[in-house]
Structure 1
Amino acid sequence: MKLSIVITTYNRLQLLKRAIDSAVRQTIPCEVVVADDCSSDGTQEYLNNCREKFSESGKFRFVYHRNEVNSGHAATVNAGVLNSTGDWIKFLDDDDYLAPNCLEEITRAIALRPQAVIVSCMAAQINEQEVELSRTPQLGAGLAFYTPQADIHYGMLLELLPFGTPVQVACRRDVFLQTGGWDSKLDTNCDDIDSWINLAKFGDAIFINQCLAYRTIWQGACNHKFSLSRRLNTNLVMKEKIYALVNEKHHAHIPALKDIQNYLKLHWLLVALKQKNFQSLNNIMFFSSPAIFSWQAWRLLFNALLNRRNSNSAQIQKYVLIK
């Protein structure tokens, strides 16, 4: 099985160097594809030099793709995947990086569950000085486990199975292409989550309870450019899409869509309050007041908080791969 690391970048050369370094230091051979969204900060010259240097070493295949015009993050991800040749794609944004054994552990888990189409791992959130701020929680038992396709969308709906950000995720290339790739209409506002939803239609999911990825939390992150109210609206669209895909085996105990929507409104109200973002708080409050008086919404919020602390849910099947 061949793996490709697809790195997307735009005018972040110093951060990109760290991401590339983490890719070329993997403990197993891989292909490294850098998709550049028409950067103007010297990235092109640097990557052309990388291509020459790495091709001479012969250790792995290094591919550089540059968009002719600035096309956005989603389109750049799609271009990177199209220019790759691996059986599996490991996503990596330029401001994040991977542990050296990331691909090795992913390969090990996939070999034990060939029906899988998507893999996620734990990640550490770091600041600009690479100091760890937090870490995503362990899910289920064992070092790695899989969840069958019939349970994935239900788990995503109730946030029992959060796949996380691109740095945590790998997927089968053929399935990614079959889904049509990332949606440019979303472009960094849940375009990754939308992709995970689509991928999960085609096979099982693997979760690795090891920290194999590092995500930078900083003001330059793409999701900071969206208002909280806009992020709420996109979340509502994602939940509605997931809701329609939940397997019929879960229909008897699935919450009403309206209750889930009210739960999301409560969640983003609390986020705005925590951030002291009073403009977003007023915007969300304007059309979310019924959620405040919904006991079902509060129950879902409380359950979500509990699930983040205790990931061993009996409502979905989790089968241990590696103890």
Structure 2
Amino acid sequence: MKQSPLDQFQTTDVVDQNHCADASGLRPFISVGIPTFRRPDTIRRAIDSILHQDFSNWELVVSDDEGPEGSTWAIVTEYARAEPRIRIVENRRGRGQVENTNNAMLACTGKWIKLLHDDDWLAPGALKTFAEVSKKHPSAAFITCAANVMEEKRVKFRLAPQDRERISVYSSQQCLTDLYLVRTTRTLGIIPSTLLINRDVIHAGCLMRAHKSIPAGVDQLFFVDLARHGYMVAINDGLIFYDATNHPSITTSKNFDEVDQVTLAVKQLNWNLIEDRKHLPRPETVLRALRVARLPMRFHRQPWRATIRDAMQILRPSVMKVANQHILAYLFAIRPRLGRLLTRTR
């Protein structure tokens, strides 16, 4: 019989077997998985946000990409000694965001896996809300929420619009189409930290992966892969805080041509998964529309020739058609930002 990815996880990576939440035979309802690398400055904030939740049926698994020699390992070990629901595992699958994230997810034992980057943190009551929604949608492939954004001088809180449903359900095809057209899933600010993933989906082999044509777009590719495995539930509340400040060991590509190449490659993969494409624009047209939408963000950060090139795209009838289908309206309705468009590099 073929081993599942979960079966292949080595329990020898666990620091203290007595801290395993599954040791008593009772699995936690939610496992929070934090992949970390050299983040002693922010890891405490992330862990404290979990400890202060008003929902107790959780475990926390921290996958450290640096190992016992790093300063983060000592910090998490200190937490684990005081709290039996916390475990730390060493990433031995291969260095980098992809394998470290997979290592964290594969070590989780809960019914649901809540990803959380080590520089982000949970809002008060987040796990309780996720648990309530997941109990109403036990067969969802994944659940996502909106994100509050911490900038250099302020925090932008996400408040649910009064004219929009708080909870929305999208079929697999609806989600793939929504991702393709950059609609609700983007206005929510979907990033790995907003995800609550059904463990059965991970058990079925849906892990984060790299792709030869998308070397820096693993997050976007992961969202598409999740949508392929089932339906999505969206919570229109800011349940996590996303740290968008310029803090150590985070770099975002300033090469907009690379951003556009990644976007196009993801759109092409996404396009091939959508069953009804009759009324959808081609990937190249979507990219042109996105270039126009990203002009306010790029205006002072790219050569003027590139700005003129992107502005001229709106004169194309096909791009105007996409604009009429609301892709630009959705993007201009929020403050444009790169967010985690590209994976972290180090």
TM-score (norm 1): 0.81
Distance 1:252 1:89 in 2: 36
Equivalent residue number for residue 319 of structure 1 = none
Q: 1:6 is matched by which residue type in structure 2?
A: G
Q: Tell me the CA shift for residue 287 of structure 1.
A: 8.5
From 240, 260, 274, the counterpart of 2:286: 260
* 1:271 aligned onto 2:294: no
- Same amino acid, percent of matched pairs: 20
Change (3 A) 1:268 1:160: closer
4+ residue segments displaced more than 6 Å: 285-290
Instruction: Give the number of the structure with larger relative contact order, counting CA–CA contacts within 8 Å between residues 6 or more apart.
Output: 1
1:100-126 per-position Cα deviation (integer Å, ceiling 9, x unaligned): 311211121122222311111111101
Equivalent of 1:8, from 35, 45, 51? Answer: 35
| Alignment-derived partner of residue 133 in structure 2 | 109
**Which of these residues, 86, 90, 97, is aligned with residue 62 of structure 1?**
86
Cα separation, partners in 2 of 1:244 and 1:11, compared to 1, 3 Å: same
Matched, 1:306 2:329: yes
- Corresponding residue SS for 1:89: strand
Residue 297 (1) aligns with residue 325 (2): no
Task: Return the offset for 1:66.
Answer: 2.0
Distance in 2 of aligned mates of 1:72 and 1:236:
24
Is it true that 1:50 corresponds to 2:79 in the alignment? Answer: yes
Please give the secondary structure, in 2, of the residue aligned with 1:93: coil
Distance 2:181 2:164 in 1: 19
Change (3 A) 1:189 1:122: same
Give the structure 2 partner of residue 91 of structure 1: 115
Residue 243 of structure 2 corresponds to 216
State whether residues 157 and 238 of structure 2, in contact with CA within 8 Å, keep that contact through their aligned partners in structure 1: no
Residue 286 of structure 1 deviates from its aligned partner by 10
2:144 alignment partner, one of 111, 120, 138: 120
Matches for 1:136-285 after TM superposition, within 5 Å: 138=161, 141-162=164-185, 164-184=190-210, 189-220=216-247, 222=250, 224-225=252-253, 227-248=255-276, 251-273=277-299, 276-279=300-303
Q: Counterparts of 2:150 and 2:185 in 1: how far apart (Å)? A: 19
Uncovered stretches (5+) of structure 1, i.e. residues with no partner: 56-60, 312-323
Aligned match of 1:23: 50
Q: Which residue type is aligned with residue 107 of structure 2?
A: N
- Shift in Å, 1:15: 0.6
Give the Cα–Cα distance (whole angstroms) in 1 for the partners of residues 66 and 185 of structure 2.
32
SS of the equivalent of 1:52 reads helix
Asked whether the equivalents of residues 263 and 291 of structure 1 are also in contact (C-alpha less than 8 Å), the reply is: yes
Instruction: Give the whole-Å Cα distance in 2 for the aligned partners of 1:229 and 1:125.
Output: 26
1:124-135 equivalences under 5 Å are 124-127=148-151, 131-133=154-156, 135=158
Deviation at 1:34, TM superposition (A): 0.7
Go from structure 1 to structure 2 and tell me whether the alpha carbon gap of 1:50 and 1:185 turns closer, same or farther (over 3 Å shift).
farther
Q: Contact between 1:63 and 1:83, CA under 8 Å: does it hold in 2?
A: no
Question: What amino acid is the match of 2:48?
Answer: D
Q: CA offset at residue 178 of structure 1?
A: 2.6
> If each structure's helix is expressed as a fraction of its own residues, which one has the higher value?
1
**Cα distance in structure 2, aligned partners of 1:100 and 1:65:** 26
Query: How far apart are residue 285 of structure 1 and its match?
Result: 6.4
Give the 3 Å change call, closer, same or farther, for CA 139–150 of structure 1 in structure 2: farther
- Report the secondary structure of 2:95's partner residue: coil
The 3 A distance-change label for structure 1 pair 210 and 114 is: same
Aligned pairs, number: 299
TM-score (norm 2): 0.76
For residues 248-286 of structure 1, the C-alpha deviation after alignment (integer angstroms, 9 at most, x for no partner) is: 2xx33212333223223334455321xx1135x65x569
Q: How far does residue 180 in structure 1 lie from its aligned partner after superposition?
A: 4.0
Partner SS, residue 46 of structure 1? helix
- Between the aligned partners of 1:188 and 1:34, the Cα distance in structure 2 is 25
Distance across 2 between alignment mates of 1:20 and 1:265: 38
Shift of 1:291: 3.5
